[in-house]
Structure 1
Amino acid sequence: MLMLALQPYIPLYLPTACYGIRDASQFPSSNLFAAAGDRIWANGTACGRKYLVKCITSTSTPYACNQNQTIQIKIVDHIGQEASVLSAYNTTLFLSPTAFGTIANSSTASSYINIEFEQTSSSRHNRQAFRFDISD
């Protein structure tokens, strides 16, 4: 099990590595989207991919996960320059605030959580542990 950094995606959405400076229609109307880390970025082929994401457990904070919540997110960006070096290191997904708040209790200040994600067009299943930090 890997320990990875996860933070809600920074709200400066445009331009994106996937779609450049196009209008905001690139984002799903549900606001369930994410930036991909290098592990799934694959030189940009991750753009537009959809993943089912679920918070499984927290290793340090009880009730950090919103149990039984599975969401479908769309990859719209690469973590690259958006994240600080510390928070981006080994990060697989930076979730939009809406996506993050749907699967995890956003009032939790900092915790390690186990997240399960699966590419919707594939039967491959991944289980990873992520660290998320919420700050104003």
Structure 2
Amino acid sequence: MDVEQFPEDGYFVAVSEGLWDNGAACGRKYQMRCISGPRRPCKGGTIVVQVVDFCKTYPCPTTLVLSNKAFNAISRSPNARINVEFAQYVNYI
């Protein structure tokens, strides 16, 4: 994996087989937000993350494995299992 493929803002994810699309997902962006979890871990607002890898764990424990920086941007609790809402992000600028 090339370090240059990581977004400068540190908001990146690895995805499970369902989103990987035989590698076509690499580079895709998703807008996401935390919607629930134990003891109300969610922060308000949304972030945009970029797919940089396939989840290496089999089976992958989740649909999206967030970087620490991305996770901390949407959750108050670093160890919580959270539910997120996400949609593919398209920048029309």
> Do the two structures share a fold, i.e. TM-score over 0.5?
yes
Q: TM-score if structure 1 supplies the norm length?
A: 0.60
2:88 equivalent in structure 1: 119
1:75 equivalent in structure 2: 51
**Which stretches in structure 1 are left out of the alignment for 5+ residues?**
1-14, 16-21, 122-136
1:25 equivalent in structure 2: 4
SS at match of 2:73: helix
1:101 equivalent in structure 2: 72
**What letter corresponds to residue 117 of structure 1 in structure 2?**
F
Q: TM-score if structure 2 supplies the norm length?
A: 0.85
Measure, in 1, the Cα distance between the counterparts of 2:83 and 2:15: 17
Measure, in 2, the Cα distance between the counterparts of 1:110 and 1:63: 9
Q: Does structure 1 conserve the Cα–Cα contact (< 8 Å) formed by 2:41 and 2:75? A: yes
Aligned residue among 11, 21, 32 for 1:42:
21
SS at match of 1:115: strand
Aligned residues: 90
Alpha-carbon deviation of 1:110? 3.7
Question: Is 1:63 aligned with 2:40?
Answer: yes
1:81-105 per-residue CA deviation (whole Å, 9 max, x = no partner) reads xx3x46x24x211000000000112
2:33 equivalent in structure 1: 54
Q: Does structure 1 conserve the Cα–Cα contact (< 8 Å) formed by 2:41 and 2:80? A: no
Q: Does structure 2 conserve the Cα–Cα contact (< 8 Å) formed by 1:35 and 1:95? A: yes
Alpha-carbon deviation of 1:106? 3.1
Measure, in 2, the Cα distance between the counterparts of 1:77 and 1:110: 22
Alpha-carbon deviation of 1:73? 0.3
Higher strand fraction (1 or 2): 1
Q: Which has the larger radius of gyration?
A: 1
**Which stretches in structure 2 are left out of the alignment for 5+ residues?**
none
SS at match of 1:46: coil
